[in-house]
Chain A
Amino acid sequence: MNGKSDVLVIGAGVIGCAIARELSKFKIKTSLLEKETDVGSGVSKGNSGVLHTGLYYPKGSLKAKLCVEGRLMFPELAKQLDVPYKFCGKHVIARTEEELEDLEDLKAVGEGNGVKELIIISGEELKKREPNLDALYALHSPVAGIFPPYLFTIALAENALNNGVKVHVNSKVSAIKQVNGGYKVTTNQGDFYADLVVNSAGLYADKISVMVGLDNYKLYPCRGEYLILDKTCGDLINSMVYPVPPKIAGVLGVHLTPTLDGNILIGPTEEFINEREDTKTTKEKIRQLIEGAKRLLPSVPLNQVIYGFSAVRSKITPPEEKGSRDFIIREDLENFINMIGMESPGLTSSPAIAKLIVQMIKKKNDLEEKTDFNPIRKRTAPFSEASRTEQASLIKADPAYGEIVCRCEHVSKREVLDALNNPISEKTISAVKYRTRAGMGRCHGGFCLPKIVEILKEEYRVPSEEIKLKSLDSSLFIGKTKDLRENEKSD
């Protein structure tokens, strides 16, 4: 028995976490359910990590409104939550005179949505700002930004938790029943009761909706693949670089995104798929990414690719429509709020979506603000971001800062221990990775994995076979050495 909440949010992606955090400002009981071992396990971690400006969405749409609002809310929120970000700006580049028209269209749409400071610059001007790019024209938006989406999601969830939200990972919803004007939500961790349910299940939002009898939504999973370039490439571009959007599926096309850590992301592709969980990468799309990157940045050093990944978008628009329908956010059933088709710009919009949901709830219920809400959340100070003298002070105060566990990203044992001790997730390798960057570098865990395994075994007494990569079924080891030989003997 998990007790009764006033509001229960299903799905701890960035939007679910933002809603939970917004609700934690009020004197109500909020629960957040997540089927995976950690928050932000789906598309919230597998995206470009871009703070969008609002160039692409039709005026008056929820996407346009919430994207612009969300971006404006972001800096203050990021400051409170100790999430790094940077307004590095973006360039949409045109290689032909015809594409110039596309830039003008984008500029007009953007301005209609209230985006300021949009300018179209010449190829020469672009060359001054981005010496490695070649184009005839570029649309420049200085207010586009970058940030690590997983850190943001984790920060929202941790801050929500610190303000009283109950966060349940490994809790997969299997049934929802209306009871006494509220809902009974059945999961593998038992039943949860709530007066109001927010369906923030992302890629599974249609299935959750069906559980309350609303079978009018169908989501079309659309996979996006990425490649990551080594930090040695960080100087190649200063801003995000986009092509003119291809006129398919309402996507932005393969683009280049510099990350705060100095890598470059190439992607995403788009490909409608049948299985929602099918986050594989494919030969064809890897080739497409390479070609796309070369078109934007001819000198892109493809021998510096360090990893590839993919995630799946939840599209409400059928493939044949070749467009992008608006977000659906509405109370489809008494005290049951559906959010369907929460694709890009969902990340940028998330703070504004959270506000919108709270307004919807406020209309029906008296929400009393807490006086002791603490908006501040600090992450463990990252060793790599400190100056040399700060690093010296960190180690002096805590010798665990002096033991470097991840050689590529200079992540210290202190950060790894704090990540393993985080209040939300299972103690997985992935939980460490997304909190600290250990394993995200060029050696891809070659150095840190054995060290983290040792920490799990020595300091947390986790048996070998229970050490997981990410999900509960992703055991890294089948046991201890000699186990197989012992079994052979007893057979």
Chain B
Amino acid sequence: MTELPSRDVDLVLIGAGPAGLAAAISAKKNGVQNVVIVERNGWLGGILPQCIHDGFGLELFKEQLTGPEYAQRYIDELKELDIPCMLNSMVLEVTPDKKVFVASPEGLVCFNAKALILAMGCRERTRGQICIPGTRPAGVYTAGVAQNLINLKNVMVGKDVVILGSGDIGLIMARRLTLEGAKVHAVVEILPHTNGLPRNIQQCLIDYDIPLLLSYTVTEIHGQNRVEAVTISPVDADLKPINGKEQRITCDTLLLSIGLIPENDLSKNFGVKLSPVTGGAVVDETLETSVSGVFACGNALHVHDVVDFVTLEAEKAGKSAAEYILGKTRKVERIPVEAGDGIRYVLPCSIRRGADLELSIRVTCPGEDVAIGFFDGETLVKTKKFRKVHPAQMIKIKLKGSETSAINSLKVEVLGK
């Protein structure tokens, strides 16, 4: 029997994507010495190296960076700070007392961590999860997998493409495939509005004359060996396909951009409480989860639309973890934060009275001239107006300590017109 080597560390970060990198850097800068990042892929930066388009860093650097460029800034800083990262290393299991079992070609090791940051990112929803009927041929890819294959593996997934779902990766891939010489016949979205950022609709679809079909879905996949066609159909108000309105589109590829799911298989198994709405952990304003000393950030916490916000959130998680490790935190009573009418979710889920904080909010449907209200019970304590709101665009609202110092609960709601 091989004895399992174990190592005491201050902080383990799971995932070396943008969240893990920024959180590690932040933790180290805030005084944590013994930090280790565990990454299951063979590279740093997570999904960023395959995102060869630009648009990253507008918020943080006021520059249009590509994904690899954005990642490189943090990779460089990680190296300067001498933070170790284990690559090709899979966390197999985490226990409630923060033992982290990691497998890598170098061996199996158990870290005894004082604190943990969950930065595993997200995965893509698949065909099986939405039960698209039909055959199971080659040529059905999730958009992110197609992006990986094309941009990192240098293989071309197909030449006549239909894309289901108007998530940002799908839109980016519509343009990418077009630039590679493929014909994108349509982007099909079941909702009456798009799921991607408006700038991506413009730059990836409209600029390339790619049709966007709203309130449509794919109802069947055809082709025994390779995709030969898909059937699409308009949907009614309940999102059910309308019989008799089906159309067949000949194609060799179906790309799916139908949603992202925070990766929390590990978290679930050691008792981290998850939100059924976001799929990520339930966190307070320090980004601490229901398990003491375990923090979450980035797409593992909730799916973000731009990486800059991932970075900012991760920096916060790194700082909070540092305070926890250095014994600077104390137990405080918190008040709950709730999503009311018109709001899909609000993070954090609970806050300390009097803390300066920033809320991340997503609305349920698009709207113009919308007012969002903040209630303490029945009392409206603050209102904020927006020219436009969209589910694809996360709303960030800062609350000053003075605004929360006397309240007993906080509910966020879209106010009636």
Name A residues whose Cβ lies closer than 8 Å to a Cβ of B.
227-228, 232, 277, 279-283, 286, 303, 305-309, 383, 388-389, 391-393, 395-396, 399-404, 407-408, 410, 412, 442-447, 449-450, 453-454, 457, 464, 467-471, 473-485, 487-488
Q: Among the interface residues A277, A303, A388, A410, which one has the most CB atoms of the partner chain B within 10 A?
A: A388
Asked if B291 is at the interface (CB within 8 A of a chain A CB), the reply is no
Q: Among the interface residues A281, A410, A457, A471, which one has the most CB atoms of the partner chain B within 10 A?
A: A281
Are B134 and A280 touching (Cβ within 8 A)? Answer: yes
- CA of A446 to CA of B152 in the docked complex: distance in angstroms? 14
Are B156 and A478 touching (Cβ within 8 A)? Answer: yes
Are B152 and A469 touching (Cβ within 8 A)? Answer: no
Given A445-B145, A446-B142: A402 touches B131 (CB 8 Å cut-off): no
7 closest residue pairs by CB, A with B: A484-B181, A307-B128, A473-B225, A469-B138, A399-B105, A404-B90, A392-B108
Are B126 and A306 touching (Cβ within 8 A)? Answer: yes
- CA of A400 to CA of B103 in the docked complex: distance in angstroms? 11
Given A305-B129, A307-B128, A402-B103: A410 touches B155 (CB 8 Å cut-off): no
Interface residue from A391, A402, A464, A467 paired with B106 (Cβ < 8 Å): A402
Are B126 and A446 touching (Cβ within 8 A)? Answer: yes
- Starting from the known contacts A388-B4, A464-B154, 12 additional A-B residue pairs (CB-CB under 8 Å) come to A228-B128, A282-B133, A306-B126, A307-B128, A402-B104, A407-B40, A412-B103, A442-B265, A471-B224, A473-B226, A474-B138, A477-B156
- CA of A305 to CA of B129 in the docked complex: distance in angstroms? 6
Are A392 and B107 touching (Cβ within 8 A)? Answer: yes
Question: Which residues 186-222 of B sit at the A interface, judged by CB distance below 8 A?
Answer: 219-221
Given the complex, which residues of B lie within 8 Å of A445, measured CB to CB?
A: 145
Q: List 17 A-B residue pairs with CB atoms under 8 Å apart, sorted by A's residue number.
A: A286-B131, A286-B133, A388-B92, A391-B92, A392-B4, A393-B2, A395-B103, A395-B108, A442-B265, A450-B149, A473-B224, A473-B225, A475-B226, A476-B139, A478-B156, A479-B155, A482-B180
Closest Cβ–Cβ distance, residue B158 to chain A (whole Å)? 6
- CA of A282 to CA of B231 in the docked complex: distance in angstroms? 12
Given the complex, which residues of B lie within 8 Å of A408, measured CB to CB?
A: 265
Given A228-B128, A488-B181: A450 touches B133 (CB 8 Å cut-off): no
- CA of A261 to CA of B103 in the docked complex: distance in angstroms? 20
Closest Cβ–Cβ distance, residue A130 to chain B (whole Å)? 23
Given the complex, which residues of B lie within 8 Å of A474, measured CB to CB?
A: 137-138, 225-226
Name B residues whose Cβ lies closer than 8 Å to a Cβ of A.
1-4, 40, 88, 90, 92, 101, 103-108, 110, 123-124, 126-129, 131, 133-139, 142, 144-145, 148-150, 152-159, 180-182, 219-221, 224-226, 252, 265, 268
- Specify the main secondary structure of chain A where it touches its partner: mixed
Are A403 and B104 touching (Cβ within 8 A)? Answer: yes
- CA of A192 to CA of B2 in the docked complex: distance in angstroms? 52
Are A477 and B157 touching (Cβ within 8 A)? Answer: yes
Given A404-B40, A443-B126: A393 touches B90 (CB 8 Å cut-off): no
Interface residue from A286, A391, A393, A457 paired with B103 (Cβ < 8 Å): A391
Given the complex, which residues of B lie within 8 Å of A484, measured CB to CB?
A: 156, 159, 180-182
Q: Among the interface residues A286, A303, A446, A467, which one has the most CB atoms of the partner chain B within 10 A?
A: A446
Interface residue from B92, B134, B145, B150 paired with A446 (Cβ < 8 Å): B145
Given the complex, which residues of B lie within 8 Å of A404, measured CB to CB?
A: 40, 90, 103
Are A480 and B154 touching (Cβ within 8 A)? Answer: yes
Interface residue from A402, A470, A473 paired with B107 (Cβ < 8 Å): A402
Are A389 and B2 touching (Cβ within 8 A)? Answer: yes
Given A444-B126, A444-B128, A482-B180: A468 touches B138 (CB 8 Å cut-off): yes
Interface residue from A306, A442, A483 paired with B156 (Cβ < 8 Å): A483
Are A283 and B180 touching (Cβ within 8 A)? Answer: no
* Smallest Cβ-Cβ distance to A232: which chain B residue: B268
Given the complex, which residues of A lie within 8 Å of B221, measured CB to CB?
A: 280
